[in-house]
Structures are given as structure tokens and as C-alpha cells.
């Protein structure tokens, strides 16, 4: 799968929307490299020169395509990459990417450590057993010193020792051969909330732990705490690096953070009309006949469905854009296809492009719109687009 995927990515097309050629045959995702680069520069404009930007490209860069995104954001000024798993890191290295890569998720086996060392990835250290396995494995393979990043739990209750145990943990890791503490970090649980109470408590705990580590005579490595929400909130959360995912992709972690800076969504989802026809009144549409026409209507079939990542729960609730007009989706969304009421465009042709997410003229449909309709978050929407949809790069990054 990886191979096919890389081949798909290596085809960088220009902004050509007609014809049935290339990757744009049925349904596809367009990634605007210019928007990605713009977002990186916007985020960097919030940072002091001493704060590095890690672009978080886990989960195939939130569905945008990890290699393509990594190359673009590094060129635009990000200096680190964050991934969730070892294979995600290897995919970037195999594509020739040289920037430092932090694995944000947990790793714990010898095999994982060997791959980490071989591919020069940098693991998160979150418990003592893992630290021992890593140190011993490196000893056994006559390994060099491995940079490790200590993750503290300041209130997320996910990875890492509790912040009260930070000093003890750091001291123990420090004594282990072959491990070099390259950073100490923590992760915010409520950075998107208008109420900053929990975030400020986490920040205070982080600072307390750091002060204690410093008092114990341990030289401080670089520190980092903020995700997109923290980064857009204020500079006291920036420390030596910020780890930004969502904002790089051009979405805001929360409505109230829109004023912090201008961002452009980088991803658009498009598909083609595959058939157009007129149905009489009182005609049921799609599985279960959840939609029944109340008049004669013009119906279009579109070649995209829930197996591509269009959530079935949007059936009868979503709109799409054609020729800059907003049109309602009707009936149940099926695995590979969905239907539209296109009565307002009587001359619509088969093969025309439908925008499911993205912009056409003044009209825009964003991942936030889908997320609020579904009671979820834009992060999940972005990650939902399947590999069946080719990713097509558009826009020059600079």
C-alpha cells in the first residue's frame, strides 16, 4: 500500500479541473501546498525567533499526505516533524526527509527501538520500563546515544509519569547509559476551551516540575507544551518549541481563536457527477428511501461515498457546491456514491466537478461545518478521508 501511495503523491498536478484524466477521475482530495506554506508562515509569525515550530504530521498528516506535507512545511519554516508511530516516521525518512522527527506516541519493544535507531527517529519516553529496555537494547547493539523526549502528565492523563514524579523520573533516565534527554514536554487537554482554568493549571504544574528538575541540578533541555490551541492562545505557552497540527492544515482549534491569525484550509474534497436524470414526484431515493421527492426533480449521482470518508450520518443533511452554487444531498449516502437534488442547475452535465469540502467562489464548506453537524471535531473529519481518494497537490508553495 505504501508504494502505491508514494507513487500517487509523486504526481503533482497543476490546477486543472476539467477532463477525466489523471487522478481526478472519480473522487479525489486536493491539497493546496500554497495554503500549507502560508499557514506555516502565519504560525511562525506568532513565535519568537527562539521558538521552533514542529509540524505535526501524524495520521498521514491529518489525511493530507505525510510526505507531501512534510516537504512543504519544512521548506516554509517548520524545523521539526511530529508523528504518532514508528512506521509513520519511517515513511518520512524513506522519502528522504532529514529533519528531526519526534514520535509522539508510546513505543516499548526492542524491535521498535531498533527501527527508531536505524531510521534516526526520536522517541517519547513515558515510563521507566521503556527507558530500561531502550538503554539495554542500545548497549547490546553497541548503539550510539539516542535522543529521547520525556513526556510529563500535567493533566491530560494520557502518556507520561505524573508531574509530581518528574524529578525522580528525569534523574533515573539521566543515569541510564545511551539515553540523552533531548527535551521535556507535556500536552494540553483543554487548549481549545474558552475557559482557561485547566490549561493554566497544567502550565503551572509544568513550570513547577521544570523548576524542581532545575533545582535538582539537572541541566534543562528544550521544553514544549503547546498544540495549536495553546500556540494560538498566547506566547507564555510557547517555550522552546510548539507542536502544531490543525492550524498548519488551516483550521482553527476553536471559534474564539479565529482572531489570533489568518489561516487557509489546505484540503478540498471533490468528486464528479456520474449520472444526471429526472425523477417523478413521490419517488424514493437510495437505500431505505429516507428521501422521497415531493415534486419532479433533477437528480445527480456523484462518485463518492462513505467508503471514501464522507460520513454516512451526513445523509440528507449535507450540501455540496457545483458551479459555485450550494445544492442539497438527498437520500442515504451509499458506500461509493451519493445523490444530489440539482434542480437549480437544469443543464448540469455528467463529468462536472462537485466540491464536498472546500471553496467555490463565495461559498465555502469546511470540516468545521461537517464536524458541528455530526457532533465531532474537525480533526476527526480530516483524518476520515480514505486512501482510496488520490491526493492531488495544487498551488505553488512559495
Ligand X SMILES: *Cc1c(COP(=O)(O)O)cnc(C)c1O
* Cell 531498533, located at residue: 114
Candidate list 137, 154, 228, 293; residue touching ligand X; CB under 6 A: 228
Residue 246 contacts ligand X per CB under 6 A: yes
- What would the x/- binding string for ligand X be over residues 86 to 125, using CB under 6 A? ------------------x---------------------
- CA–CA distances in Å: residue 342 to residues 49, 290, 388, 391: 52, 18, 26, 27
Active site (annotated) includes residue 264: no
Q: Which of 38, 44, 50, 58 is catalytic?
A: 58
Number of residues that bind ligand X (CB under 6 A): 12
Provide the b/e sequence for 4-40 (b: ≥16 CB within 10 Å).
ebeebbeeeeeeeeeeeeebbebbbbbbbbbbbbbbb
Residue 66 contacts ligand X per CB under 6 A: no
Nearer to ligand X (CB atom), residue 26 or residue 243? 243
Pairing of strands 391-394, 27-32: parallel
- Of the candidates 282, 252, 272, the one whose C-alpha atom is nearest the C-alpha of residue 320 is 272
- Quick check: helix, strand or coil at residue 279? strand
Residue 371 contacts ligand X per CB under 6 A: no
Q: Report in angstroms how near the CB of residue 199 gets to ligand X at its nearest.
A: 13
Binders of ligand X in range 175-194 (CB under 6 A):
187
Q: Which of 50, 287, 317, 386 is catalytic?
A: 287
Nearer to ligand X (CB atom), residue 228 or residue 293? 228
Residue 238 contacts ligand X per CB under 6 A: no
- Distance separating alpha carbons of residues 29 and 16, to the nearest angstrom: 14
Q: Report in angstroms how near the CB of residue 248 gets to ligand X at its nearest.
A: 8
- Distance separating alpha carbons of residues 264 and 30, to the nearest angstrom: 13
Active site (annotated) includes residue 287: yes
- Of the candidates 40, 10, 46, 109, the one whose C-alpha atom is nearest the C-alpha of residue 390 is 10
Residue 227 contacts ligand X per CB under 6 A: yes
Nearer to ligand X (CB atom), residue 203 or residue 329? 203
* Own/partner long-range contacts of 22-25 (Cβ < 8 Å, ≥24 apart): 22/392, 23/390, 23/392, 24/270, 24/272, 24/353, 24/390, 24/392, 25/272
- What would the x/- binding string for ligand X be over residues 120 to 159, using CB under 6 A? ----------------------------------------
DSSP type of residue 355: E
- Quick check: helix, strand or coil at residue 64? coil
Nearer to ligand X (CB atom), residue 210 or residue 348? 210
Nearer to ligand X (CB atom), residue 30 or residue 153? 153
Q: Which residues bind ligand X (CB under 6 A)?
A: 56, 58, 104, 187, 227-229, 243-246, 253
Positions marked catalytic: 58, 287
Amino acid at each position: 500500500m505504501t508504494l502505491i501511495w508514494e507513487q500517487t503523491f509523486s504526481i503533482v498536478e497543476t490546477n486543472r479541473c476539467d477532463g477525466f484524466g489523471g487522478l481526478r477521475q472519480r473522487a479525489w482530495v486536493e491539497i493546496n501546498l500554497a495554503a500549507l506554506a502560508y499557514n506555516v508562515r502565519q504560525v511562525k509569525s506568532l513565535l519568537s525567533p527562539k521558538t521552533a515550530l514542529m509540524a505535526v504530521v501524524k495520521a498521514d498528516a491529518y489525511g493530507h499526505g505525510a510526505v507531501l506535507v512534510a516537504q512543504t512545511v519544512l521548506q516554509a519554516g517548520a524545523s521539526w516533524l511530529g508523528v504518532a508511530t514508528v512506521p509513520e516516521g519511517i515513511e518520512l525518512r524513506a522519502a528522504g526527509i532529514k529533519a528531526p522527527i519526534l514520535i509522539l506516541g508510546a513505543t516499548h519493544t526492542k524491535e521498535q527501538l531498533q527501527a527508531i535507531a536505524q531510521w534516526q527517529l526520536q522517541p517519547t519516553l513515558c515510563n521507566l520500563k521503556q527507558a530500561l529496555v531502550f538503554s539495554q537494547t542500545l548497549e547490546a547493539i553497541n548503539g550510539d546515544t539516542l535522543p529521547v523526549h520525556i513526556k510529563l502528565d500535567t493533566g491530560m492523563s494520557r502518556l507520561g509519569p505524573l508531574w509530581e514524579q518528574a524529578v525522580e523520573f528525569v534523574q533515573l533516565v539521566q543515569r541510564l547509559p545511551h539515553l540523552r534527554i533531548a527535551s521535556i514536554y507535556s500536552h494540553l487537554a483543554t487548549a481549545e476551551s474558552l475557559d482557561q482554568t485547566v490549561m493554566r493549571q497544567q502550565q503551572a504544574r509544568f513550570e513547577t516540575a521544570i523548576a524542581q528538575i532545575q533545582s535538582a541540578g539537572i541541566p534543562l533541555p528544550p521544553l514544549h507544551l503547546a498544540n495549536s490551541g495553546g500556540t494560538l492562545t498566547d506566547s507564555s505557552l510557547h517555550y522552546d518549541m510548539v507542536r502544531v497540527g490543525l492550524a498548519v492544515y488551516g483550521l482553527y482549534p476553536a471559534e474564539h481563536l479565529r482572531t489570533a491569525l489568518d489561516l487557509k484550509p489546505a484540503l478540498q474534497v471533490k468528486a464528479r457527477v456520474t449520472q444526471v436524470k429526472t425523477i417523478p414526484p413521490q419517488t424514493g431515493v437510495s437505500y431505505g428511501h429516507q428521501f422521497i421527492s415531493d415534486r419532479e426533480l433533477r437528480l445527480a449521482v456523484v462518485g463518492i461515498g462513505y467508503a471514501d470518508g464522507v460520513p454516512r450520518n451526513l445523509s440528507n443533511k449535507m450540501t455540496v457546491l457545483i458551479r459555485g452554487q450550494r445544492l442539497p444531498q438527498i437520500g442515504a449516502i451509499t458506500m461509493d456514491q451519493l445523490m444530489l437534488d440539482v434542480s437549480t442547475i437544469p443543464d448540469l452535465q455528467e463529468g462536472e466537478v462537485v466540491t464536498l469540502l472546500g471553496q467555490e467562489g463565495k461559498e465555502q464548506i469546511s470540516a468545521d461545518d461537517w464536524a458541528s453537524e455530526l457532533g465531532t471535531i474537525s480533526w476527526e473529519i480530516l483524518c476520515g478521508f480514505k486512501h482510496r481518494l488520490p491526493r492531488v497537490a495544487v498551488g505553488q508553495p512559495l
